[in-house]
Amino acid sequence: MALLIDQLNLGTPYGRYQVDAVIGQGAFSVVYKATHMTTRQVRALKVTPEDIPGVQPAAIEEYRRRFQAGAQYGIRINDPRVVHSCDFGHDGDLLILAMAYAPGGNLADRLWNLRLDGRLMNIDECVLIALDIADGLGAIHNQDVVYCNLKPSNVLFDADGMRAQLADLGLAQLPGGVSMFSQVGQAGWRHPGTPAYMSPEQRRTTDYLSPPSDVYALGLLLFEMLTGRVYRNVRPGARPQSLRASIPIWLDDLVARMLVDQPDNRPWDGVETANLLRHENSGDAVPRPECPLSWEPVEPSAHAPDAGDLTPAPPLTPQDAPAQVDPAETREPPLDWAPVF
């Protein structure tokens, strides 16, 4: 992936954007911070190449098709809890999505820093972040889209670090379901996603997914925020409260309901989950704090994560990202920005 980073010369014009910095990279894309040259608005550019050394062309093609369809949908979803997609186009063989820039970092980095400090996230903040995510999922589900890609690196924060937003509809299941994507459902193809953050039905089947699949993923995130533990590393069925005694029973029950195997027995969608979080939480009347994070030390009764439990560093260098770059492989400088639609 270093190829892309090398290719976009930082500070030089690129289409309508000047690329300022590399934010990070995922399995198939690199994300850059960039400035629109006429409006001076700061954006995040997600750039996906046509070929990546070491990755099967069919896999990249599938990702690019999803990326394009997800971008087209993302532009239509206008909700403060979903990172706004502004523009989408191609430049030579690069697909480029311009998004609103979320300056407050992502949840993966927050969780990672908490782990390094041996701290747990304040419970009220866990609830407020989950509420933002549930509201974002609600906006997505209301469009008959299933997000399918809820994981810490796709939860971004605003400048104050207070409000969470969902990024990346690139793996979303759009109306019409799997039939839109020829590869899924064929032998050897499964729903794409990040295994630690997939619902059982997303992981094990090629079935049409419904909103409870995203609710399960939110349950996984809530579990991790509350306990500092990755759900699939703990004994199946473990309750958050068994790892952190101060978690209120209503929240413990709700997380357990979100994590049941049978989709029909979970809260149905983001809207229902947000309502439950608001309703159940109203007795505690949690005000939104005025400064970002108030962390608390791992409680003595909790099973603090030990070194053996640590997940890999935040997914800036995912395992499936190509590690090798052929220096002989160069591309033409970017051509004019050409919108796809």
Q: Which residues sit at the interface with ligand ATP, rule CB under 6 A?
A: 23-29, 31, 44, 46, 83, 99-102, 106, 153-154, 156, 167-168, 194, 315
Taking the CB of residue 187, how many other CB atoms lie within 10 A of it? 5
Sheet holding 42-48, edge to edge: 13-14, 17-25, 30-36, 42-48, 94-100, 85-91, 338-339
CB of 104 to ligand ATP, least distance (A): 8
How far apart are alpha carbons 226 and 250 in whole angstroms?
Answer: 13
Site for Mg ion, residues 117 to 146, rule: CB under 5 A? none
Which helix (H) or strand (E) covers residue 67, if one does?
Answer: helix 57-76
Helix (H) or strand (E) holding 90: strand 85-91
- Least distance in angstroms from the C-beta of 206 to Mg ion: 22
Q: 68, 85, 154, 281: which one contacts Mg ion (CB under 5 A)?
A: 154
Which residues have a Cβ under 8 Å from the Cβ of 315 and sit 6 or more positions away?
26, 108, 151, 153, 194
Which does residue 315 touch among Mg ion, ligand ATP, none (CB within 5 to 8 A, set by kind)?
Answer: ligand ATP
**Residue closer to Mg ion (CB basis): 1 or 302:** 1
State how far the Cα of 153 lies from the Cα of 186, in Å rounded to an integer: 29
Least distance to Mg ion, CB of residue 153, Å: 5
In the list Mg ion, ligand ATP, none, the entry touching 138 (Cβ below 5 to 8 angstroms by class) is: none
Which option in ligand ATP, Mg ion, none does residue 23 bind, with CB closer than 5 to 8 A by kind? ligand ATP
CA–CA separation, 225 and 246 (whole Å): 14
Looking at this protein, which amino acid is placed at residue 46?
K
CB of 84 to Mg ion, least distance (A): 15
Asked if residue 109 binds Mg ion (CB under 5 A), the reply is no
**29 sits near Mg ion (criterion: CB under 5 A):** no
Residue with Cβ nearer ligand ATP (25 or 68): 25
The reply on whether position 168 binds Mg ion by CB under 5 A is yes
Least separation, in Å, of the C-beta of 73 and ligand ATP?
16
